[in-house]
Amino acid sequence: MPTYRAFEATGVHNLQLVERELTDPAPGQVRLRVEACGVCHTDVLAVEGLRDDPARPVVPGHELIGVIDAVGAGVTAWQPGDRVGVGFLNGQCWECEPCRRGDFVNCTDQEQTGTTVDGGYAEVTYARASGLVRVPDGISAIDAAPLLCAGLTTFIALQQGPTRAGALVAVQGIGGLGHLALQYARSLGHRVAAVARGKEKEAYARQLGAHEYIDSTATDPGTALSALGGASLIVATAASGASMNPLVRGLAPNGRLVVVGVGPDPLTVATPDLIFGTHSVVGSLTGSSIENEDNLAFTLAHGIRAGIEVMPFTRAPEAYERMLSGEARFRVVLDTAA
C-alpha cells in the first residue's frame, strides 16, 4: 500500500514521525496533498495532551493549504486539482440546530482540525468538504496558511460590533494575532490604536497601521483610550486575562471588548465599568469556511501579510518549539511542498 509521512502527537509533548497507509476519503470528505501548514499556539491541545484521550495518536496543525487529489462519495462541489485550505473547524454537519439556523461556527458535530481529527503536520490529510476554503490565485501556500486561523480570527473579531469607518478601534498585543489585527483594522477604515508593552514596539505598530500607540507599561491603557475619545471596539489578543482587565474602561459608549487571546488567568471586570457606558465583553472563536474565503480575498485586495518564519516539514518538532518559545516573528509555517 502507498504511504505518506506524518507527525503524530501522543501523550504529553511527544511528536513522532510515522508512515501511514494512504486510504480513500470517506463519504463527504476529500483527501488532499498538503503544501504548507502553519504552527499555531492552539496546537498545544494536541501536543501537550490537552484533549479527551491523549493516548490516541493525532496529527496536529490547523492552518493547512493543499491540493485535492481524491474526493469521497457525495462530494460534488470539489474535484481533484482544486487548491484549498482547512482551518481549525473541520466542517459543519448541516443537521444540528446551530447549523439549521446558519450558525456554522457553533455546529455541535464539528471536528477540530489537528485536535480531534488529523491536521496538517503531514504530507496528506483528510477533511469534510463543508470545511474547505477555496484559495485564490495570487497568494502562495506559505503566505495563505496562517491567514486561515490567525488571520480569520482577527478579521472576524473586528466585525463583532457595528463599528463605523473612522471610529477608534484598539488592538491589544502585537504578536501572532495582533500584528494581523492592526493591518485588518487599518484596511477596514478605522482609526487604529495599538496597545502593547514597551516603547520599542511603537515603530513596528505604526508600520503595521496604528495611528496611536499606547505603552501599557507606562500608562493605564483604559485611561489612555478614554483620553483618545474611547474605542468603539477593542480586540484583545494577548494571552493574559490580567492585561485585559483595564481595557473595558477605555471603551466608548456601547463599545465592545472582543477577546480572542486565550489566557490561563481570568478576566475581571468591575460591574460599573460594564453598566456605565453600556459596555460589553464577548469572546470570538473563528469564522466559517466561506468567511475564510472572504478573509483571503480581503487580504489580497489590501496587501495584508503575516510575518512568517518558514521551516521544512521534517523539522516540525523544532518548528513547534520555536512557536512555543514566543520568539517567532510572528508565525511559523511548515513547507511541505519543498
Give 269's contacts (C-beta < 8 A, 6+ positions apart). 245, 248, 281
- The x, y and z cell numbers of residue 236, run together, are 484583545
- The x, y and z cell numbers of residue 70, run together, are 481524491
- CA-CA distance, 150 to 148, in Å (whole number)? 6
Output 161-166 pairs: Cβ under 8 A, ≥24 positions apart: 161/232, 161/233, 161/255, 161/256, 161/258, 163/190, 163/232, 163/233, 164/232, 165/189, 165/190, 166/190, 166/191
According to the model, what pLDDT value does residue 161 have? 85
- CA-CA distance, 335 to 313, in Å (whole number)? 5
Q: Where in the chain is the domain with CATH 3.90.180.10?
A: 3-149+287-335
Confidence (pTM): 0.95
- CA-CA distance, 131 to 28, in Å (whole number)? 10
According to the model, what pLDDT value does residue 219 have? 97
- CA-CA distance, 232 to 251, in Å (whole number)? 6
Model confidence at 1, pLDDT cuts 50, 70, 90, reads: confident
Q: Is the pLDDT at 72 greater than 80, yes or no? A: yes
> What is the three-class DSSP state of 194?
strand
- The x, y and z cell numbers of residue 8, run together, are 503524530
> What is the three-class DSSP state of 200?
helix
Packing angle of the helix pair 150-157, 178-187 (nearest 10 deg): 50
Dump pLDDT digits (tens) for 304-315: 999 999 999 999
- CA-CA distance, 191 to 55, in Å (whole number)? 48
Q: Is the peptide bond before 298 cis (omega within 30 degrees of 0)?
A: no
Q: Do 166 and 190 meet the contact criterion of CB atoms below 8 Å apart?
A: yes
Dump pLDDT digits (tens) for 254-269: 999 999 999 889 999 9
- CA-CA distance, 173 to 62, in Å (whole number)? 22
Considering the domain 3-149+287-335 in this protein, what is its CATH number? 3.90.180.10
Which fold is adopted by the domain 152-283?
Rossmann fold (3.40.50)
Q: Where in the chain is the domain with CATH 3.40.50.720?
A: 152-283
Dump pLDDT digits (tens) for 141-160: 999 999 999 999 999 999 99
Distances (CA, A) of 37 to 20, 28, 121, 206, 227: 18, 23, 7, 29, 42
Dump pLDDT digits (tens) for 185-205: 999 999 999 999 999 999 999
Dump pLDDT digits (tens) for 94-135: 999 999 999 999 999 999 999 999 999 999 999 999 999 999
CB atoms within 10 A of CB 255: 25
Please give the full DSSP string across 216-285, using - where no structure is assigned.
Answer: TTTS-HHHHHHHTT-EEEEEE-SS-HHHHGGGGGGEEEEEEEEE----SS-----HHHHHTTT-EEEE--
